[in-house]
Amino acid sequence: MFDSYSPADSVLETGSSFLWSTRQEPPSYFFGTIHVPYTRVWDHVPENAKQAFGNADNVVFELDLMDPATISALATCQMLPEGLSLVDVLPRDLFERLKRHLDYVKVPVGWVQPESDRQK
């Protein structure tokens, strides 16, 4: 995805560690803390940062795993419907990448692929 990341140049001047950037063109920026949901810090985010989020092409927030509604929603989506496996729902190239990675980390593919497909 990117070669490396570091505190953004302007942040180095202020001493804040909440803004990070990638060393690629075009750069990507990461703003935040480690594993603290945005709901816990949003009131402390400067208005110009909030405006930058509004102008960004993409913004991704970490899930609030302290929120029971979030946990409940995650529980409903952790299993595929009966009879489906990842090979049925992922694009073929992504599924193959996943299989290669699981082989690399020595995790059995049994939960990823139905038994009938593993014999092929």
C-alpha distances out from residue 20 to 24, 60, 100, 109, Å: 12, 14, 30, 35
| Signed CA dihedral, 13, 61, 50, 57: sign only | positive
Nearest CA to 64 out of 33, 87, 86, 39 is that of: 39
Task: Report whether pLDDT(29) > 90.
Answer: no
pLDDT, one tens digit per residue, over 75-86 is 988 888 888 888
Segment 106-116 mean pLDDT = 69
Q: What is residue 71's predicted lDDT score, i.e. its pLDDT? A: 92
Nearest CA to 4 out of 31, 20, 23 is that of: 23
Q: How far apart are CA 10 and CA 19, in angstroms?
A: 9
Task: Give the list of residues 6+ apart from residue 58 with CB closer than 8 angstroms, or none.
Answer: none
